[in-house]
Chains A and B, each alone.
Chain A
Amino acid sequence: MAVERGVIENFLYHEARLMDEHAYADWLTLFTDDARYWVPSNDDDADPSTHVAIIYDDRNRMAERVFRLSGTIAHSQEPRSRTSRMVSNVEIGDEENGEVTVYANFNLTQLRRGRQETFAGRTIYKLRQENGSFKIALRKVLLVNNDEPINNLSFLV
């Protein structure tokens, strides 16, 4: 089944809006139960079984991440980051075993307590059709600065 480009784009924009609106719980519902949220460290292609990652969350750790951001006080998000992200360069890749690979670029502006920073990179998604809508099985974020010192990446990237 060919995937409609507009449907994919809308899905990605929707996800970006939930992250920018700090709608953490809603964001979490976009993921499959066996989802992986992965932000490599140092090297885009680093093998997570032998190399440390900035984020390598399974669904359980994603739920902890959401709890940290909304159910308690995480000082590095008090006050919380204001973010605005542009999602672009959407490219629909192969479809295999009911999962479609989607590539996109992002440009994220983050402001917190007088400091404004830009984060940019590429995201590789594996999207799966579940009950008539898409769910994210893989969200791999390739930050251009994943080998540089970072102060605070405790908002959703």
Chain B
Amino acid sequence: MTTVKGHIDYDALVLEDRVHGSIYTDPNIFEDEMDKIFHNWWLYVGHESEIPEPGDYRLTWIGRQSVIMSRDEDGNVQLFMNRCRHRANAVCQDEKGNANFFRCWFHGWTYSNKGDLIGVPYAGRYDDSFKKEDMGLTKAPRVDTYRGFIFGSLSPTGISLDDHLGHSKATIDAFIEASPKGQVVVRAGVHKGTYKGNWKFVGMDGYHPAFAHKAVNDLMQRKETGIEAKDRDTLVPSRSLEEAFGEHSLNKAWDLGGGHVRLDIWPMKRQVMDGVLKRLNSTEAGRSYLESMEQAYGKEMAREHIATQDPHVGIWPNLQLIGVQIRVIRPLSVNETEVFMYPTGLGGVPEEINEVRLREHEWFYGPASFGSPDDYEMFERNQMGLSAQVNPWLLVSRGLGQETKNPDGTIVGGVTDETPQRGQFIHWKKVMSGG
């Protein structure tokens, strides 16, 4: 805690068209974010398919606090603070596993997977005021799920998960309805990444691809034109990147409200569906997948679900659904962040379909991929640039005044517009100001 913290004027730091650099660099603001966002708001903690059986658990985080996500013997999802009620030792060590009980090895206290304290060695030395039934693992004050996605909050009161998710629920629906069973499965491991920069850099930005991902752009061009060598400094967007993220792209950028934002790449995805269906029809696994999708949803909706499976959404504050991945953002300090990417499989489809999802994910994402390292490089250069503070402002005015405001409160702009940045900052300011 610092004395400065209570006196930050967030209205002065976030304007309609610009934000002050200190929101990325001030340790006091970071501490305030921990209190007001990460240790208060709804945070994504994991997916039900990671703990399918009674006794399954995975260690996770709510902000900076260690949490056990567990399925108890009755099949219920539980979130326990990973801390012994005796003298605060962590009771769970492994990132994931299956256990009937959690044992603190400091003094042998043992808890059931429902969190009840079931064993205290040499209990006779406690007096009558010691009640085992009051000493179970502390539960996260609130836990709720939406279609398999588990969220926790350290605040006992506040907005419901349903209200928090708001318009972003439809994007979760789209992500999982590429499966004929309407479910994704999170059991294919994880890409763990980290960068020396503020957590808010992991945004939703339709302006950067051709430049920050110059290498990917040129790889696409190489594939499209066969041209191998070129002037390294030339900036020529590839055809497909221009269509997806050019100034005149059909794609859109959305502020869904509540800090949730997305890049709507569905217009372009719908346009290329003939080719997608042709590719699926060229293999047995693809045909079987298509057939089960048509059986589940009907022909037209099957096509639509396949076209719209990548919601490209940021669900505020720590979850993103991009490509096939569930991405989780974990701030470590004002200038250090971890990003975990869990590629998902689709439930009820041939193995080959999910294998292709993995290989396509690895092309762009992960620490040795062709995309992620360049994103992290941009975030670190951003943090470096913020050290120069003579003019402290960052501009987020792109497309301002040219957007469409819908009756339901959502705002939509062109795909390169800074509609998502503004949407996130408006909500950030509201929450940080105590609203």
The interface of chain A, by Cβ under 8 A from chain B, is 39, 41-43, 46, 48-56, 61, 64-65, 67-68, 71-76, 78, 147-154, 157
Contact = CB atoms under 8 A, between A and B. Distances in A.
Nearest to A41: B189
B229 A71 contact: yes
A157 B212 contact: no
Interface of chain A, main secondary structure: loop
Contacts of B363: 61
Contact of B376 (A48, A73, A152): A152
A46 to B, nearest CB: 6
A48 B358 contact: yes
Given A68-B370, A74-B370, A153-B373, 6 more contacts: A46-B189, A50-B355, A52-B191, A71-B232, A76-B374, A78-B377
Contact of A55 (B233, B351, B355, B368): B368
B120 interface: no
Interface centre among A49, A55, A68 (most CB of B within 10 A): A68
Contacts of A157: 368
Contacts of B367: 54, 150-154
Contact of B218 (A61, A71, A151, A153): A71
Contacts of A56: 358-359, 362
Contacts of A52: 188-191, 343, 358, 361-362, 366
A56 B363 CA distance: 9
Contact of A41 (B191, B196, B230, B345): B191
B222 A153 contact: no
B396 interface: no
Contact of B189 (A49, A51, A55, A152): A51
A151 B190 contact: no
Contact of B355 (A41, A49, A153): A49
A151 B194 contact: yes
B377 A152 contact: yes
Interface in B105-154: none
Nearest to A69: B215
Q: What 3 pairs across the A-B complex have the smallest Cβ distances?
A: A76-B373, A149-B194, A150-B367
Contacts of A61: 363
11 contacts: A41-B191, A46-B189, A50-B187, A50-B188, A52-B343, A52-B358, A54-B367, A55-B368, A56-B359, A73-B214, A151-B195
A148 B215 contact: no
Interface in B191-232: 191-196, 212, 214-215, 218-219, 222, 228-230, 232
Contact of B232 (A41, A46, A72): A72
A68 B220 CA distance: 11
Contacts of B194: 149-151
A145 to B, nearest CB: 9
B411 interface: no
B190 A148 contact: no
A75 to B, nearest CB: 4
A74 B95 CA distance: 33
A48 B188 CA distance: 9
B376 A64 contact: no
B47 to A, nearest CB: 15
B378 interface: yes
B281 interface: no
A48 to B, nearest CB: 7
Nearest to B342: A52
B292 interface: no
Contacts of A46: 189
Contact of B362 (A55, A76, A148, A150): A55
